[in-house]
Structure 1
Amino acid sequence: MTDVFGTAGVDRTGLGRPDWTPLAVLATGQFLVVLTTSIVNVALPTVSDGLKLSEQGQAWIVNAYGLAFGALLLVGGRAADLLGRRTVLLAGLGLFAVGSLLAASAPTAWLLIAARALQGVGGAALAPAALALVMVVYPAGAARGRALAVWGAVSAVGGAAGVLLGGLLTEALGWRAVFWAPVPVTALVVLGCLRHVDRDAPQPADGGADFLGAATVTAGLVAFVLGVSGAGRTGWLSEAVLAPVGAAVVLLGAFLVVERRTAQP
């Protein structure tokens, strides 16, 4: 298979068998994304003591990452198409590393929550770009099937490893260690991408980028999660819940209309 990478997509060894080095690099990036979802959970009580967090503040340390990641995942995937998969992957890794550094050194709860959101933005760029690269490097058939099996296994292991490592690091080094830990691994993934993952060509969009679709789906998901996350404190029928959920319904409805009419959804 000769493609935008300029070399045989799976046989870089010259021995007639797949080269799994790119998969190892890309799967490690996915491992980081999933790990960061769960690694903070065990550390939350210690974080709360250190930064004097309320119960709502603790929840937002988790929610800020998941919300930014989930809301921007579609945007990240589309950006990878338009700008180049490896380019967006490296940008996502950079944002992820900066978010981790800021979280590890955050002096206040709000800065920690903002840093967690930045980690989520990085993950939303990193994850779809990395998976798209796997699909390009390994063509349909046995090699791609094995690559996707590894991808799924790494995702599952990342969630369990986060809980285990979060407890060990918090106990041994304190809660800030759970945010320092991904930084050197992220740096290794960046180096691995530069060395083992070839640059790909962006895919031009004849109808332009779908900025309105990106804005409506992202804002709609954010509004929905904001509303639902407050239900435990104020009740499902409170204005604090109904207003953002209502806004989410309108925004997501607008998203569907936009996607039906745009040339490049």
Structure 2
Amino acid sequence: MTRASTDETDAAPDAPDVRRRRTLALVVIATSLLMVILDGSIVTVAMPAIQGELGFSPAGLSWVVNAYLIAFGGLLLLAGRLGDLIGRKRMFMAGIAVFTAASVLAGVANGPVTLIVARFLQGAGSAMSAAVGLGILVTLYPRPAERARAIAVFSFTGAAGASIGQVLGGVLTDALSWHWIFIINLPIGLAVLALAVPVLPTDRGLGLAAGADVLGALLVTAGLMLGIYTVVQVERYGWTGAPTLGLGALALALLAGFVVRQARAETPLMPLRIFRSRAVTGANLVQVLMVAALFSFQILVALYLQKVLGYGALETGLAMLPAAVVIGAVSLGVSARLNARFGERRVLLTGLLLLIVLLLLLTRVPVHARYVTDVLPLMLLAAGFGLALPALTTLGMSGADERDAGLASGLFNTTQQIGMALGVAVLSTLAASRTESRLAAGATAPEALTSGYHVAFGVGAGLLTAAFGVAYGVLRSPKTPPERSESSGPAGRHVTDTAL
């Protein structure tokens, strides 16, 4: 990076200082994402302890997860657009503050209602920070090569966070208590806020007049929340149950009303022009399919280790740790170079192929498995995560201009949550149905559970195959402009002024 203009000289006296600030900003964004991802997975291994102490019913216990998921997925799109309007830094810091305060409330909860409310607030805070984080990142790194490396760090944090959360959750729950899986967010959240003030770029936003569509906001938030609620309740009511059909139809009607509203509103909350980009539309569709499929790896493999092989919470987290290590090595070590050399589309397709093979092999894991020979080798194929996620993220953000960066970031995170909710509903329901039928046929519990997981893994492989087809047919690697200094014209100065 070169020293360019008088304005840049005043803001950043030397290039090392510019790089240092950007690196610290990346640390802030990645740490906030890690908190969000950890909070989604760290609680899973602590569920039995939470149920035992607070007296949750089996049905009520699921709301420790569902309350977070509904708020997070339902508010992402709104938070992303509001970030564009009022300033992404303001939205990011407000989200971290809400998340941190809600974490303390969850940590001191002494009853089911308090914990569920706290989890909903945690989801809201997570949506506010996560929705704009990616938009801030792409503004900070205008050069393609630097942006690719930054997105690799961002993607690694998201991909490996679930595995790290399972390890950390097991350690904290076993060594201290489940309360600490939430309280630990307090010092981290305060540190993120303190560091974010000086290092994140300050942006004024477009102003509420550029997109203050209150009716649209109500329609999309209500539609997404109701839709995710409907999906996570499928296991209870079934796909053809009256509550599922009725609530699902209402959610679709609300979302359809939102689309109509955006087409007619003078200042839409989500300008439909964003979907004219093949990259944005195709990448978000691929993400829904991919994330839905990979629920079977991130969650069902952990359940297989616990319920079939008899692992404890900490043992399960450690058993999944090699996957996180492999993902990190690929994401941080080689993905940016591979994207630059071969293009994001080819790297994405390669990663999807590895993940398809992974899930197909998981359909053959035995009841009496040995970790070293039957499970550990499969963890190496998790390298597909490290290839696919950075490439997909780059493709998904490449079709949005700077004014819509927050919206594109919120949309990308929203489809991720939709995919997760669908994966939970579809794959867990299919696995449970197969398990019940095998139990009725006289199979032992481990045999029935393993058979159910096999079905889920097979369907997951099918979803990944569909994602491969969409990526092959729709996505194209973005054309990379020649690297240039930020002094080469008004565009360069604009990016520099905004980012620094």
Deviations 1:30-58 (A, max 9, x none): 11111111010000010000111112222
Aligned-pair distance for 1:205? 4.9
Verify the 8 A CA contact 2:73 2:228 in the aligned structure 1.
no
Gaps of 5+ in 2: 271-500
1:213 matched residue in structure 2: 216
2:477 matched residue in structure 1: none
Aligned-pair distance for 1:242? 2.2
Aligned-pair distance for 1:210? 1.8
Q: Which runs of 4+ in 1 moved over 4 A?
A: 10-13
Q: Secondary structure at the match of 1:43?
A: helix
2:233 to 230, 233, 239: 230
1:113 to 104, 107, 116: 116
2:129 matched residue in structure 1: 126
1:139 matched residue in structure 2: 142
1:197 matched residue in structure 2: 200
Aligned-pair distance for 1:175? 0.8
Q: Which moved more, 1:97-106 or 1:228-237?
A: 228-237
Q: Which has the higher helix share?
A: 2
Give the direction of change, closer, same or farther, for the CA distance of 1:107–1:15 in structure 2 (3 Å limit). Answer: closer
2:244 matched residue in structure 1: 241
2:48 matched residue in structure 1: 45
Q: Which moved more, 1:114-123 or 1:150-159?
A: 150-159
Structural mapping, 1:19-34, within 5 Å: 19=20, 20-34=23-37
The CA distance in 1 between the partners of 2:222 and 2:179, in whole Å, is: 31
1:180 matched residue in structure 2: 183
AA partner of residue 131 (structure 2): P
Gaps of 5+ in 1: none
Give the direction of change, closer, same or farther, for the CA distance of 1:189–1:141 in structure 2 (3 Å limit). Answer: same
Verify the 8 A CA contact 1:105 1:176 in the aligned structure 2.
yes
AA partner of residue 18 (structure 1): R
Aligned-pair distance for 1:13? 5.1
The CA distance in 2 between the partners of 1:261 and 1:59, in whole Å, is: 39
AA partner of residue 50 (structure 2): V
Verify the 8 A CA contact 1:18 1:143 in the aligned structure 2.
no
Percent identity at matched positions?
Answer: 37
The CA distance in 1 between the partners of 2:108 and 2:18, in whole Å, is: 45
Structural mapping, 1:49-128, within 5 Å: 49-128=52-131
Aligned-pair distance for 1:133? 1.4
Deviations 1:111-159 (A, max 9, x none): 1011001001001110122221111111132111111111101111211
1:171 to 160, 174, 177: 174
Q: Secondary structure at the match of 2:45?
A: coil
Q: Secondary structure at the match of 1:42?
A: helix
Aligned-pair distance for 1:252? 1.2
1:14 lines up with 2:15 in the alignment: yes
CA RMSD of aligned residues (A): 2.1
1:260 matched residue in structure 2: 263
Aligned-pair distance for 1:213? 1.7
AA partner of residue 19 (structure 2): P
The CA distance in 1 between the partners of 2:47 and 2:166, in whole Å, is: 11
The CA distance in 1 between the partners of 2:28 and 2:123, in whole Å, is: 20
Verify the 8 A CA contact 1:102 1:112 in the aligned structure 2.
yes
Verify the 8 A CA contact 1:11 1:18 in the aligned structure 2.
no
Give the direction of change, closer, same or farther, for the CA distance of 1:207–1:103 in structure 2 (3 Å limit). Answer: same
Aligned-pair distance for 1:203? 1.4
AA partner of residue 199 (structure 1): T
The CA distance in 2 between the partners of 1:58 and 1:139, in whole Å, is: 45
Verify the 8 A CA contact 1:216 1:251 in the aligned structure 2.
yes
The CA distance in 1 between the partners of 2:72 and 2:104, in whole Å, is: 18
Verify the 8 A CA contact 2:223 2:251 in the aligned structure 1.
yes
Aligned-pair distance for 1:207? 4.6
Aligned-pair distance for 1:253? 1.2
Give the direction of change, closer, same or farther, for the CA distance of 1:7–1:175 in structure 2 (3 Å limit). Answer: farther
AA partner of residue 158 (structure 1): G
Deviations 1:3-34 (A, max 9, x none): xxx748x9775249733121111111111111
The CA distance in 1 between the partners of 2:133 and 2:244, in whole Å, is: 36
Aligned residue pairs total 261
